[in-house]
């Protein structure tokens, strides 16, 4: 039986909160469309992990890039809304930028589209100002 959108979303968010990358990647379709913010040159391009990617391998690379720059101290699902094949999770994250030692706290939304028991589209929304401030080396 194919997992429901709620089951896939719950598994996804739980895996991320626990740092279980294998389980998280297993929730993704092979050709997942991954949109991690829109790049705005001169504004948020210091966030080396953002952009639009396709497929699990590219998503894994963005996770590796993010993990090389940022240590996630705490992540939790604050709210989850599911309607048909769509799910939206509100996430609270507290992390430290490795190079600067600066901590940032954000809430962001992950919008998922689930078909045939896998996430086929993922898009993230947030105000990146706290992240960008923590990345600054001044």
Q: What value does the mean pLDDT take over residues 113-128?
A: 97
| Whole-number average pLDDT of the chain | 96
pLDDT bracket for residue 138 (50, 70, 90): confident
Instruction: Give 27-56 pLDDT, tens digit per residue.
Output: 999 999 999 998 999 999 999 999 999 999
Q: How many CB atoms lie within 10 A of CB 73?
A: 12
Query: Is the per-residue pLDDT at 91 higher than 80?
Result: yes
Q: Provide the 8-state DSSP code for 55.
A: S
């Amino acid at each position: 039986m194919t997992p429901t959108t709620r089951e896939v979303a719950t598994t996804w968010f739980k895996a991320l909160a626990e740092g279980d990358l294998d389980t998280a990647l297993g929730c993704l379709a092979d050709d997942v469309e991954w949109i991690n913010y829109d790049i705005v040159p001169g504004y948020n391009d210091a966030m080396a992990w953002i952009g639009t990617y396709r497929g699990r391998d590219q998503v894994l690379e963005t996770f590796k890039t993010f993990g090389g720059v940022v240590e996630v101290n705490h992540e939790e699902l604050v709210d989850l809304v599911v309607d048909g094949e769509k799910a939206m999770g509100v996430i609270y994250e507290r992390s430290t930028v490795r190079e600067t030692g600066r901590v940032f706290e954000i809430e962001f939304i992950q919008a998922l589209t689930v078909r045939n028991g896998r996430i086929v589209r993922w898009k993230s929304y947030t105000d990146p100002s706290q992240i960008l401030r923590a990345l600054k080396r001044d």
